[in-house]
Amino acid sequence: MKYLYGFIINFQFFTMIPIPVEISIDDDHLKKAVKTFPLLGLFQGFIYALTVYFLLQWTPFSNLAIAFIIWFVMILLTGGIHLDGWMDTSDAYFSYSSIEKRLEIMKDPRTGAFGVLSVIVLLSAKFLFIYEIVSGITFTSYLLIIILPFLSKGIMGLLLMTVPLAKEEGLAYHFRKAGDSSIRLVYLVFWIGLTGLVALIDFRTFFPILIMFIVVVICFIFLRSKTVKWFGGITGDVLGGSVEGVELMLWMTIWLLHYSVMV
């Protein structure tokens, strides 16, 4: 039951889906929430894939319109929480200031020019990738779309548990304080299990998924080293920005796999 409560906490914190259940935000529930980060991503992936399928099969909309709807659903479902982190992190990074100043900038509720420009580039690139994927969609594409947020949410949890905190306050601090080292083993079981299941459904997905895993590992190594150098460690904004950055790289990977005729 505590895992279910942890999963519900993830919905309440990271999505706009209203679940009117009061759950005490204690360390035990937060620990279960961190362990179920990938399952939240899996749910999001199913929503995206089912929406694409429904729109393609049951509506007269053009590929451009369908791509826009999916792009908008992604923003609507999360309430833009990770986009906010992307903008705040971009403002802080492009200030080229000290770590202390960058942390102050991320706490500022105002959004600067670099934050606005960075989110325009992010959303524009993501829209391009989604549109071209929808235009050449295959059964394998649907499976990769399901896996995409599953992987990005896993990276969020791994960064949270393996990178030092930049400050002992905020959302990231409370989730980190509740976590433990077993989370990495749980994620490994999730990833191996889902990969095996998808490969059984369609073996042609094995190599595309393997490529996505390689991209995720590269992103993790890069982010793990640079977050400490640039921001002194992890904050909630940095985690949100990391999720958006990893998802952008994964959308680009699926897009490139289409061009290489591997999907």
pTM of the model: 0.93
Annotate 154-170 with DSSP letters as a single string. Answer: HHHHHHHHHS-BSSS-S
Cα end-to-end span (Å), the chain = 39
User: In the prediction, which pLDDT does 193 show?
Assistant: 85
For 222-231, the CB contacts below 8 A with 24+ separation are 223/155, 223/159, 223/163, 224/159, 224/162, 224/163, 227/159, 227/163, 227/166, 228/163, 228/164, 230/93, 230/99, 230/102, 231/89, 231/92, 231/93, 231/99, 231/102, 231/103, 231/106, 231/166
142 in Cβ contact with 53 (< 8 Å): yes
Q: Which amino acid is at 201?
A: I
DSSP 205: G
What six digits make up the tokens of 254? 């699926």
Mean pLDDT per 10-residue section of the chain, whose length is 263 residues: 78 84 78 88 95 95 96 93 92 88 86 91 97 93 94 92 84 75 81 82 85 94 92 91 96 92 68
Q: Is residue 178 within 8 Å of 28, Cβ to Cβ? A: yes
Question: Tell me, what's the pLDDT at 2?
Answer: 61
Delimit the domains of the chain by residue range.
2-7+26-259
What burial letters (b/e) apply to 41-65, b meaning 16+ CB within 10 Å?
Answer: bbbbbebbbebbeebeeeeeeebee
